[in-house]
Structure 1
Amino acid sequence: MVTLEGAWSAQSMQAMAANMRGLKQAAESGSFAISESGAQAYIKAIEDAQSSITELDAKLYLLTTETKLGASPDSKSMSRYNLESATGGTGTSGIIPAIDQLKTALEDAKIAMRKAVENYRAVDDAAANNYKSY
């Protein structure tokens, strides 16, 4: 069962997405490198997170369904608030858009790990060639 607790708030997902974009930029610039074995551990964790989000996707439609709380103005207001919390609206970015951002960021992080491995190999090869020239 997948639940939206703690780390799964819209704000924390947006923060994770921003961090992963930074990781991708660092790898692309060559300032981040990691060994293949180190990258594989991160890639597995990323893929586990992607799998959890896929499970969550199957239930997200429930968040876009208007809650039936009654016909009073307060009930209608609460129902609208619930929907805006899910999809985004006044004063909220919405959990569904945050999940979409996180999906993109997780894929970016996998790309970053692969690029960081390339960076590691380049540094390692350069060091080996430098060592051989002595």
Structure 2
Amino acid sequence: MKMAGDQIFDQPVSDSAGMAGGNWVNAGISAAAVAKTSTEAGKMLQVAKSGGFRVSERGAQPLIEALADARDRIDQMLGKSYTFSTAPPLGSSPYAVQVAEHVRKSGDGPQGAVTVLTQLQAVLEQSEEALRHAMRNYREAEDNATSHYKA
């Protein structure tokens, strides 16, 4: 699946072995894709804080619930991520030690699964905060319009 010219997932989202099973690492979510998404979520939050967009509670609530569900799933994955912080016992030869360390780094290294999931969790939190600001903006605009017509 490709979005806006950038490869985000190696497998279709509907692939039951990929996303539905909670296996985000095998789904090909990369640190670069999450970083780009983080930048965009930050922009969205800034625009919402400045009053640049509004959304009704009815429109935002399903999105907020989906974000909360995704955060819960990431929490579950991170709760099991202790296995990523140790190198697997592959033997004591220099090559086995090197491979084991590489496997460990793919879990908790700078571009590893734990790091990427933690960053993705922050993106979801920023997105939810932006939606909450946009809902407040909507309520304020409605209140202003209502008070204008009452006067």
Q: The TM-score by the shorter chain falls in which range?
A: 0.7 to 0.9
Asked whether the equivalents of residues 78 and 114 of structure 2 are also in contact (C-alpha less than 8 Å), the reply is: no
SS of aligned partner of 1:6: coil
Identity of aligned residues (%): 32
- The one-letter code matched in structure 1 to 2:127 is A
> Match for 2:119 among 101, 104, 109?
101
Q: Could you tell me how far 1:33 is from its partner in structure 2?
A: 1.1
- The one-letter code matched in structure 1 to 2:43 is G
Aligned to 1:114: 132
Q: Any stretches of 5+ residues in structure 2 without a counterpart?
A: 1-20
Give the helix-richer structure, 1 or 2.
1
Aligned residue pair count: 130
CA distance in structure 2 between the aligned counterparts of 1:59 and 1:16, rounded to whole angstroms: 24
SS of aligned partner of 2:52: coil
Aligned to 1:2: 22
Counterparts of residues 1-134 of structure 1 (less than 5 Å): 1-4=21-24, 5-6=26-27, 8-89=29-110, 93-131=111-149
Aligned to 2:17: none
Q: Any stretches of 5+ residues in structure 1 without a counterpart?
A: none
Q: CA RMSD in A?
A: 2.1
Q: Which has the higher contact order (CA 8 A, sep 6+)?
A: 1
